[in-house]
Chain A
Amino acid sequence: MGFSKGSGQIVALYSATLGLLYVLMGLLEIVGGFGVEIPLLAGVAGAFYVVGDSFSGFVLVVIGAVYLGGLGAVSGGNREGLSYVSVGALMSTALLALYIANILSNGLGLVLGFEDWLEWTLMDDLRPGLLLWVLAIPAVLIARKKDWRE
Chain B
Amino acid sequence: MSAQEVLGEDPEIVLADQRYKFIGDVLQTSLVRGKKKWTSSDMLDKVFLDKALGIPVFLAFMWILFTFAIETSGVYMTIVEEFFGWLGGFAGAIGNELLASLIADGLIGGLGGVLVFVPPIFFTFLGISILEDSGYLARAAFVMDRLMYKLGLHGRSFIPMLLGFGCNVPGIMACRSIEGENDRLVTILVNPLMSCGARLPVYVLVAGAFWSEAMVGGVVWSMYLLGMVLAIVVAYVLRKTVLKGEQAPFIMELPIYKTPTFQGSILHMWERGVIFLKKAGTYLLGASIFVWFLITFPLGAPIEQSYAGMIGHFVEPILRPLGFDWRIGAALVFGLLAKEVVVEALGIIFAVESEAAIATALAASFTPVQGLALMAFVLIYVPCLAVVAAVKAETNSWKWTLFGPIYQTVLAGAVSFLIIVIGGAMGI
Contacts A84-B47, A109-B74 given; does A95 touch B53 at CB 8 Å:
no
Q: Please tell me if B203 contacts chain A, counting CB pairs below 8 Å.
A: no
- Taking CB atoms and an 8 Å cut-off, the chain B residues in 33-76 that contact chain A are 35, 37-40, 42-44, 46-48, 50, 52-53, 56-57, 59-61, 63-64, 67-68, 71-76
Q: Please tell me if A54 contacts chain B, counting CB pairs below 8 Å.
A: yes
Q: Please tell me if B222 contacts chain A, counting CB pairs below 8 Å.
A: yes
Q: How far is the CA of A109 from the CA of B60 in the complex (A)?
A: 27
Q: How far is the CA of A69 from the CA of B64 in the complex (A)?
A: 21
Q: Please tell me if B78 contacts chain A, counting CB pairs below 8 Å.
A: yes
- Taking CB atoms and an 8 Å cut-off, the chain A residues in 62-120 that contact chain B are 62-63, 65-66, 69, 79-80, 82-84, 86-87, 90-91, 94-95, 98, 101-102, 105-106, 108-109, 112, 114, 116-117
Q: How far is the CA of A65 from the CA of B50 in the complex (A)?
A: 12
Q: Would you give the shortest CB distance from B140 to chain A, in whole angstroms? A: 14
* B75–A87 touching, CB < 8 Å: no
Q: Would you give the shortest CB distance from A50 to chain B, in whole angstroms? A: 11
Interface size class of B (residues with CB under 8 A): 35 or more
The number of A-B residue pairs with CB atoms under 8 Å apart is 102
Which stretch (B144-152, B212-220, B229-237, B242-250) binds chain A?
B212-220
Contacts A98-B67, A109-B78 given; does A87 touch B57 at CB 8 Å:
yes
Contacts of B74 in A (CB 8 A): 105-106, 109, 116
- Taking CB atoms and an 8 Å cut-off, the chain B residues in 66-92 that contact chain A are 67-68, 71-76, 78-79, 82
* A59–B78 touching, CB < 8 Å: no
* A98–B64 touching, CB < 8 Å: yes
Nearest B residue to A57, CB-CB: B218
Q: Please tell me if A149 contacts chain B, counting CB pairs below 8 Å.
A: yes
* B38–A149 touching, CB < 8 Å: yes
Contacts of A149 in B (CB 8 A): 37-40, 43
- Taking CB atoms and an 8 Å cut-off, the chain A residues in 124-139 that contact chain B are none
Contacts of B82 in A (CB 8 A): 114
Nearest A residue to B76, CB-CB: A105
* A55–B222 touching, CB < 8 Å: yes
Nearest B residue to A143, CB-CB: B43
* B38–A150 touching, CB < 8 Å: yes
Contacts of B44 in A (CB 8 A): 83, 86-87, 90
Q: How far is the CA of A69 from the CA of B47 in the complex (A)?
A: 9
Q: Please tell me if A18 contacts chain B, counting CB pairs below 8 Å.
A: no
Contacts A53-B214, A55-B215 given; does A82 touch B43 at CB 8 Å:
yes
Q: Please tell me if B221 contacts chain A, counting CB pairs below 8 Å.
A: yes
Which of A53, A66, A117 has a CB less than 8 Å from the CB of B75?
A117
Nearest B residue to A86, CB-CB: B43
Q: Please tell me if A51 contacts chain B, counting CB pairs below 8 Å.
A: yes
Contact with A along B5-44 (1 / 0, CB 8 A): 0000000000000000000000000000001011110111
Residues of chain A at interface, number, CB under 8 A:
36
Nearest A residue to B39, CB-CB: A149
Contacts of A63 in B (CB 8 A): 60
Q: Please tell me if A58 contacts chain B, counting CB pairs below 8 Å.
A: yes
Contacts of A15 in B (CB 8 A): none
Q: Would you give the shortest CB distance from A106 to chain B, in whole angstroms? A: 7
Contacts of B78 in A (CB 8 A): 109, 114, 116
Contacts of A59 in B (CB 8 A): 60, 63-64
Q: How far is the CA of A83 from the CA of B54 in the complex (A)?
A: 13
* B72–A66 touching, CB < 8 Å: no
* A62–B60 touching, CB < 8 Å: yes
* A83–B64 touching, CB < 8 Å: no
Q: Would you give the shortest CB distance from A78 to chain B, in whole angstroms? A: 10
* B60–A58 touching, CB < 8 Å: yes
* B47–A55 touching, CB < 8 Å: no
Contacts of B48 in A (CB 8 A): 87
Q: Would you give the shortest CB distance from B118 to chain A, in whole angstroms? A: 15
* A102–B71 touching, CB < 8 Å: yes
Q: How far is the CA of A101 from the CA of B66 in the complex (A)?
A: 13
Q: How far is the CA of A83 from the CA of B47 in the complex (A)?
A: 7
* B218–A79 touching, CB < 8 Å: no
Q: How far is the CA of A59 from the CA of B40 in the complex (A)?
A: 23
Q: Would you give the shortest CB distance from B69 to chain A, in whole angstroms? A: 10
Nearest B residue to A108, CB-CB: B75
Contacts of B37 in A (CB 8 A): 149-150
* A62–B75 touching, CB < 8 Å: no
* A66–B214 touching, CB < 8 Å: no
Contacts of B63 in A (CB 8 A): 55-56, 58-59
Which A residues lie at the B interface, using CB under 8 A?
51, 53-56, 58-59, 62-63, 65-66, 69, 79-80, 82-84, 86-87, 90-91, 94-95, 98, 101-102, 105-106, 108-109, 112, 114, 116-117, 149-150
Give 9 pairs: A residue, B residue, CB < 8 Å, sorted on A.
A55-B215, A62-B59, A65-B53, A66-B53, A69-B47, A90-B44, A102-B68, A105-B76, A109-B78
Given contacts A66-B47, A98-B67, 10 further A-B contacts (CB under 8 A): A51-B214, A53-B218, A55-B217, A55-B222, A56-B67, A69-B47, A105-B75, A106-B75, A109-B74, A116-B74
Give the 4 A-B residue pairs with the shortest CB-CB distance, closest first: A55-B218, A83-B46, A87-B47, A109-B75
